[in-house]
Amino acid sequence: MTAPLLSVRDLRTHFHTFSGVVKAVNGVSFDIGAGQVMGLVGESGGGKSVVGFSILGLIDPPGRIEGGQILLDGQDLVGAPEEALRRVRGRQISMVFQDPMTSLNPLHTVGRQMDEMLRLHTDLDAPARKAACIEMLESVGISRAAERLGAYPHQFSGGMRQRVVIAIALLAGPRLIIADEPTTALDVTIQSQILKLMRRQIADRGASMILITHDLAVVSEMADHITVLYCGKVVERGLTRDVIGAPAHPYTRGLIDSIPDPRHRQTRLSQIPGTVPDIRNLPVGCSFRERCPRAQALCAQADPPLTAQRASLHAACHFPLTEAEAP
Amino acid sequence: MLGYTIKRLLQMVLVLWAVSVIVFLMMSFTGDPVFMVIPIDSTQAEIDQARRILGLDRSMLAQYGIFIGNLLQGDFGRSYVFGQPAMELILERLPATMEIVVLAVVIAAVVAIPLGVYAGANPGRASSRAIMSGSLLGISLPGFWVGMMLIFLFSVRWHLLPSSGRGDAVEVWGLRLSFLTVDGWRHLILPSVTLSLGTLAILLRITRAGMMEVTRQDYMKFARAKGVSRRGVLYGHGLRNALIPVVTIFGLQLGDLIAFATITETIFAWPGLGKLLIDSIYRADRPVIVVYLMLVALIFVVINFIVDIVYTLIDPRITVK
Ligand SMILES: Nc1ncnc2c1ncn2[C@@H]1O[C@H](COP(=O)(O)OP(=O)(O)OP(=O)(O)O)[C@@H](O)[C@H]1O
Ligand SMILES: [Mg+2]
């Protein structure tokens, strides 16, 4: 296998709050190859966004990257000077945020916010930049693009704003796009449009993507690989078909069971029992054990390491599910 | 926009009328001005005659009628003390006040905004806390004390700057201006600095509060994710979003300083409006006080109008109606 585009190694990002240290990301590792789409899934508070912001060096005090490596083409971004990070942001790696209503500056025109990206990362002159912005807006499905450059974000609908944000993220031709729940704030019909758009744009450009979401159904359609986070740790990862088809970790299984399935008209969705524990004082052993139907005495004593399982799967579980137990 | 302007003009007329009523009522309760214009040893007959000439023997309503009638014809009366038209007297002094006030608000804005941005963007730092403590001093120290300390240090002790008067002034289009000469500048510095302190402190605190709010917003993080420099994020994206309350306070302070630079002008013997007002109040120089108060009202209304326009320039979501 060729060297991955991005390789995250044992990343640990902690927040030193008044009420204790929040180990939001606590030893996360994964690789993304060129052109691949990786789904990063897990319940709220699992540390998905913090992983994304860590990659771009956007963790603010009281947060800090405590350790690990984030290798882009083998170059470590952890501890890299701000100057170097600024050349990575937007140009190599860009990000699409969850809420399109708030990620654009309300006081600048859409054109200005797009132009800024090109001014920062290219040598194009003003007319060339304008042409590039118009072309990009059109390619994300915004009609009358030339006119719309002069419009302000509040004159756009949520779906259109997210298209603009995606256009901005793609403008400087980044090799990796981190999409942090890019459609959660949009209504369902728009959601699938935006996701299709993103998939096509990524594929056309040969870029890679980290798709952050808590929606396994979305990920199973879009991603080549899946990484499941729970309480700041990777509990399972592997190829999408293996993870969705026959997960090894009970947590992943729980997430899959709570996808509404239109084919089986279930009277009630199965939910994972209990709630995510307080991340500031996690119990010894496996963090999931209090919610796990398979937990045994061992789970309270030792934190299971991430180990190779069947097929492409790696899971952190003392008593993983077998293929025969697949849904 | 046109409708808005017309509405604003009508409002201005209304405000000025209201002020004229209040001023007129106030005036009629504050002593008899006849004693200001007659010699001390006048007889009762002479006093009565003076009353008749000044119209003071008429009813209140009639007096107000005359008063407003004259105002409408552009006749604001003559100063009892100087015998000069009151309006002329005021307009003569206005440039002097405007000079120190404009310089004061410029100093305040230029110092307060960068410090406020810094303190708002780095709330935890010791330097930010020092700035905030400093601003509390700026708010709580009385202007007259600061003025006196500045005179003591810069004039008395170090002989660096003059402590009173306007210095050399140049006449331009009939206005006497100090800021065109070096000596004028030397005279301007101390009163302007004294006048700026309170405004500086308030603007700083407002800017900081706005920036603290703004730095939490998603678009700030998104701008950073685009690769914008820290400075670019703070000034290019943040500041403008924090500016509406800053402009509001700036407008109010500007009006306030023009109207009430009195104490500072007195300390520095600055021949501006404030000193004229004090002198006129002492001598019950009614026409001057009237014109002064109407002018102040007018200035406030105009500043408000400009502030409203500036809002729409800052934020495209705001429109004037
Ligand atoms: N600035 C911060 N200060 C303190 N704690 C933080 C901060 N940012 C994130 N956290 C904590 O880090 C943990 C992970 O947060 P994160 O936002 O990454 O979750 P997430 O998986 O993205 O969840 P969601 O699906 O809700 O977006 C949470 O417990 C959160 O409280
Ligand atoms: Mg998140």
Which pLDDT does position A100 carry in this prediction?
Answer: 84
Distance of CA B235 to the CA centre of its chain: 28
pLDDT at B168 over 80: no
Indicate the pLDDT class of residue B194, thresholds 50, 70 and 90: very high
Percent of chain B predicted with pLDDT > 70:
97
pLDDT at A266 over 60: no
Which pLDDT does position A311 carry in this prediction?
Answer: 81
Residue A286 near residue A56, CB atoms below 8 Å: no
Which pLDDT does position B185 carry in this prediction?
Answer: 87
**Candidate from B222, B230, B315 with C-beta closest to A97:** B222
Indicate the pLDDT class of residue B217, thresholds 50, 70 and 90: very high
**Residues having CB within 6 Å of any atom of ligand 1:** A 15, 17, 22, 24, 42, 44-50, 63, 214, 279
Residue A108 near residue A101, CB atoms below 8 Å: no
Residues in a beta bridge with A22: A15
Which pLDDT does position A265 carry in this prediction?
Answer: 54
Neighbours of B73 (CB within 10 A): 8
Average pLDDT over residues A115-140: 93
Give the pLDDT confidence of A192-244 residue by residue, as tens digits: 888 888 888 889 888 999 999 988 888 988 899 999 999 999 999 999 999 99
Average pLDDT over residues B197-212: 95
Indicate the pLDDT class of residue B31, thresholds 50, 70 and 90: low
Helix (H) or strand (E) holding B312: helix B286-314
Indicate the pLDDT class of residue B248, thresholds 50, 70 and 90: very high
DSSP A90-124: TTTEEEE-S-TTTSS-TTS-HHHHHHHHHHHH---
pLDDT at B70 over 60: yes
Which residue would you say has higher pLDDT here, B279 or B238? B238
Which chain A positions have a beta carbon within 8 Å of B228's beta carbon?
86, 116, 120
List the Cα angle A66/A72/A73 in 5-degree steps: 140
pLDDT at A325 over 80: no
Which residues lie near ion ligand 2 (Cβ < 5 Å)? A 49
pLDDT at A320 over 80: yes
Percent of chain A predicted with pLDDT > 90:
59
The pLDDT mean for chain B works out to 87
Which pLDDT does position A267 carry in this prediction?
Answer: 52
pLDDT at B30 over 80: no
Report which of A95, A56, A187 is spatially closest to residue B219, judged by C-alpha positions.
Answer: A95
pLDDT at B77 over 90: no
Average pLDDT over residues A304-311: 88
Distance CA A197, CA A27 (A): 33
Q: Which of A134-138, B141-145, B162-166 has the lowest mean pLDDT?
A: B162-166
Q: Relative to the CA of A42, which ligand 1 atom is closest?
A: 21
Q: Relative to the CA of A60, which ligand 1 atom is closest?
A: 1
DSSP A175-230: SEEEEESTTTTS-HHHHHHHHHHHHHHHHHHT-EEEEEES-HHHHHHH-SEEEEEE
Nearest CA in chain A to B219: A103
Report which of A277, A286, A272 is spatially closest to residue A315, judged by C-alpha positions.
Answer: A286
Helix (H) or strand (E) holding A40: strand A37-41
The pLDDT mean for chain A works out to 89
The interface pTM score, or ipTM, of the predicted complex is 0.90
pLDDT at A295 over 70: yes
Pairing mode, strands A93-96 and A75-76: unpaired
